[in-house]
Structure 1
Amino acid sequence: MLKRIGLQRCAYDWRAEHVPQFEDEIQQYRKHGIEFFAFWDVHDDALRLFEKYDLHPQIWKTAPSPDAATQADKVSAAVRTMEPLARRTKQLGCSLGLYNHGGWGGEPRNLVAVCQGLRDRGYDDVGIVYNWHHGHEHIDDWAESLRILRPYLLCLNLNGMNANANPKILPLGAGQHDLSMLKTLVDSGYTGPIGILNHTDLDAESRLRDNLDGLQWLTKQLDGTPAAPRPQFQTYSAATQSRTQPSAGMFAGKVFEGRPEYRQPPVTVECVATLTQKRTYNILVANDTKRSTDHWEIFSMTGNGYFTAYLPGRTPDHVRSSVDICDGHPHHLAMSIQSDRVRLYVDGREVANQAIRSGGSSPVPGGLAVGRLVEGGFGCHGSIEWVRLSRGVREIPKDLPSKVDRDQHTLALWTFA
């Protein structure tokens, strides 16, 4: 596929089921002349294979959001957290890219501070991988953000950009701010790698081609040349992105007003949902945007359908089960959040129990979303019957509830059936 498109580099993302394929992936890249440019996250098997094949890809790792009282303490804690990986990647001859993915660790100034802290310790190959699709909050100050990021950039991943991430993922050329942000990039003198991505459940080749077409359309306008007709995208049209017109088989995502009680543990969130596919993430319930340390969300993982929680303000930031909830059957799904622990339940059975600690406090109050993220983007394939939020740790029944009621613990209840 990459050869058909004309791409010669690949940044490799993966899930647990892909681990046995790592070596074949490397061999196929070599066979077809594709550079193994970057590897997402860390896996011991992959690092051993990089040594075996004398490969030196960038290693992309989300920058942490530590729990500390002051900015200086947070930077120091993040540097200490990342130093073992920086040491290992240096031994392998690989660059380590700190990756923005929401929370304190995703802010440009914090990324730079952590990166510089690691360089001060002798890890000169540590840099930053910045993603437009995780940076909608910095559309307005993109020029300043780029100014401080640029000396550290290992790669910049592009995305169509609308205000308020509406929607979060767009092909290049479809966003309101794409041209101005690209012009700022070119004017800055940056000549390093740029990336394009699919990041949807749509056909990857078609979406990558759409991004290339959009990028070509934008670059022809950088010198002030009037815009030609916008490309006819294969995977996107503005009409299909209306919030009130979800794709066939998708839940019509909704956003409600947020409340402080949704952010303050202990709290329990429950829903009954029927999910019909696992080619992409299915967002069930999400509080605030990913930029906030008070953000939490429950969702199914892409590829395997495993019930998962994401809490960027906590460490670890993911709580994972090994239960596939994307089987076309209704499931009672729940998460309880305490100050030091998160538990996940499927049909009354505890499927994950994870000790956590606070990763710092950078709250950005927002809404409460059902079947989507607050900032837009991913949705939910299937149906959601109801969602209930409760104060405290609620006992989760063993049987699928036939109905749901309010009681003295209920913070909010929404029904959609």
Structure 2
Amino acid sequence: MTQQSFDVERIRKDFPILTRELPGGRPLVYLDSGNSSQKPTQVIEAMREHMASHYANVGRALHVLGSESTEAYEDARSKIAAFVGAPSRDEVIFTKNASEALNLVAYSFGNPNNTDERFRLGPGDEIVISEMEHHSNIVPWQLLAQRTGATLRWFPVTDEGRLDVGGLDELVNERTKIVSIAHQSNVLGTVNSVSPILARVRQVGALMMLDASQSVPHQPVDVAELGVDFVAFTGHKMLGPSGIGVLWGRRELLDAMPPFLGGGEMIEAVWMDHSTFAPVPHKFEAGTPPIVEAVGLGAAVDYLTSIGMEEIKAHEKRLVTYALDVLQEVPGLTVIGPRTAIARGGTVSFTLEGIHPHDVGQILDDVYGIAVRVGHHCARPLHLRFGIPATTRASLYLYNTTAEIDALVRGLHHVQKVFG
């Protein structure tokens, strides 16, 4: 699908919820995909079909249903590996969300069961994150620092909402063991440049992880091209169901890491006094996995691939360029983050002078049926950095239109009249 042939109205027909009429006859205007995306019929039907005709547990049954279910589950792994350019499908680990994927990696550092030097962590060692992180990429590293006595440090954020890498060489140094940052900010929309940070990480012999929850759904992401060591993302933000996320990691590192959870299917053999473990990816997938969710995520990847990630990225760039322009018409509105579409995604967070974001969101929903997110978006340190308690966030995706952005602007004018 070329940029000229990107047909958003046709795409919208694949999403049943977008035709919903809210109480009072309000049409739904869904601008909250950064929180969780809506699901196309293709995903809904793939999950329904698997539950109706093929469902059984995976990896442990020799009957027909067990074989079909296992094949569908592993086929989803292959699709996701291809989608993100993973060299091997065995490097794709299913988790319940990106938070679990990030915690899985954090658990490996300073773990006495891991003797690999790259994962040794203690007093004097350092972990580096950034001020723009989602709590899921802050709290696991705080807990790791508390467990091990290591020091947590972070990149600051500029007034324009960009990562401040001016002190890169000092911040990432010989004491650094891992750097973990967002590929794209869930508040600012900023897309961070990975290569200069990675070059320094390699120079000092550290590892690097990306939280790609906001980038994988919206732009082409190739983990081999990026060159980092770990990437986490989640299914529910990329047209898939909730309850499933993905950790991609370099095979040699995954092999060196101890299991995160113990239980069925992650073992090779068990005795009463010890166990040996299955190879990756199954070493990290204890218990019955999210089978139907994996099938749904595989269908979501098929859907996104059929449209083309470059085309989706271009559509969202057109939308955010338009949004940044027309939002200037709203008096007292301040965008928190980059004011241009350069190196940024389709997430626009803002404040309205004198009006709390919770009031903004409530009126937009009650009067216009516009769904936005309000609050600190699980990024409270970033809001503290800008001296604000909360923002209103409109997050755009492949099914959004400029008409919906116009509705947002009309709604914001109405909010101001209410509080005028």
Answer yes or no: same fold by TM over 0.5: no
The structure with more helix, counted as a fraction of residues:
2
* Greater relative contact order structure (CA < 8 Å, 6+ sep): 2
| TM-score of Structure 1 vs Structure 2, range by shorter chain | 0.3 to 0.5
